[in-house]
Amino acid sequence: MNYIIKALKFFEKQIKELDKESKKIIHEKIKLIKQNPFRYKKIHSKKYSRVFRIRFNLKQKETRLIYVVINPNIILTCLLDRKKDYKDLEKYLKKIKDELGY
């Protein structure tokens, strides 16, 4: 199946603030997501059933790229800092409905 990658404005803003090396890492991860969005760990959410995360390091910081699969779309939601845990996750997932109407 061909998936369409969509990014929330918040995610795009987070990416703009990163350095070139970090952007390259994220771009490679997005390519892998597009090939098979179900390859990474699924995480629990109150709003969506298909929420996944990719774990990687950006500048020595544990980071998670959070995305949601709503066929045929893959919605790139946010980059979470591992220190803050997943406390803000539901707030970021709410933005999907606000911006895209899902």
Q: What are the residue boundaries of the structural domains of the chain, listed by start?
A: 4-65+76-100
pTM: 0.94
Q: What is the pLDDT of residues 66-75, one digit of tens each?
A: 999 999 999 9
Among residues 100, 57, 63, the alpha carbon closest in space to that of 85 is found at 63
Q: What is the pLDDT of residues 4-60, one digit of tens each?
A: 999 999 999 999 999 999 999 999 999 999 999 999 999 999 999 999 999 999 989
CA–chain centroid gap for 86, Å, is 13
